[in-house]
Structure 1
Amino acid sequence: MTPLTRIAVQNEDFSLADEYERLQNQAECGAIVSFSGRVRDLATTPLLHMTLEHYPGMTEKALADIVQQARTRWPLGMITVIHRVGKLAVNEQIVLVLVSSAHRQAAFNACEFIMDFLKSRAPFWKKETTTEGTHWVEAKASDEAAVKRW
Structure 2
Amino acid sequence: MTMTAFRISNDTIDPAALARALVHARTGACATFEGWVRDHNDGRAVQRLDYQAYAPLAQSEGERIIDEAREKFAIIEAFCVHRAGALAIGDLAVWVGVSAAHRGAAFDACRYIIDEVKKRVPIWKNEHYADGESGWLHPDNTPVASERK
Q: TM-score range by the shorter chain?
A: 0.7 to 0.9
**2:75 counterpart SS class:** coil
* Cα distance, 1:29 vs structure 2: 1.4
Find runs of 4+ consecutive structure 1 residues off by over 4 angstroms: none
Cα contact 2:7–2:62 (8 A) shared by 1:
no
5 Å matches for 1:20-31?
A: 20-24=19-23, 26-31=24-29
Q: Tell me the number of residue pairs that the alignment of Structure 1 and Structure 2 aligns.
A: 138
Q: Which residue of structure 1 lines up, in the alignment, with residue 30 of structure 2?
A: 32
| Correspondences of 1:52-67 after superposition (within 5 Å) | 52-67=51-66
Alignment of 1:9-24 (within 5 A): 9-24=8-23
Matches within 5 A, 1:1-150: 6-24=5-23, 26-43=24-41, 44-132=43-131, 133-137=133-137, 139-140=140-141
CA displacement 1:70-102 (0-9 Å, x = unmatched)? 111111111110000111011100000000111
- Greater helix proportion: 1
Is contact 1:128–1:135 with CA below 8 Å preserved after alignment?
yes
Q: 1:7–1:63: 8 Å Cα contact kept in structure 2?
A: yes
Percent sequence identity over aligned pairs = 30
RMSD: 1.7
Q: 1:72 to 1:4 in 2, by over 3 A?
A: farther
What TM-score do the two structures reach when normalised by structure 2? 0.85
1:32–1:63 distance in 2 versus 1, CA, 3 Å: same
Going from structure 1 to structure 2, the CA distance change for 1:56 and 1:5 (only over 3 Å counts) comes to closer
Higher strand fraction: Structure 1 or Structure 2? 2
* Contact 2:32/2:110 (8 A) holds in 1: yes
Question: 2:145 — aligned with what?
Answer: none
Task: Specify the code of the residue in structure 1 equivalent to 2:137.
Answer: V
TM (norm. structure 1) is: 0.85
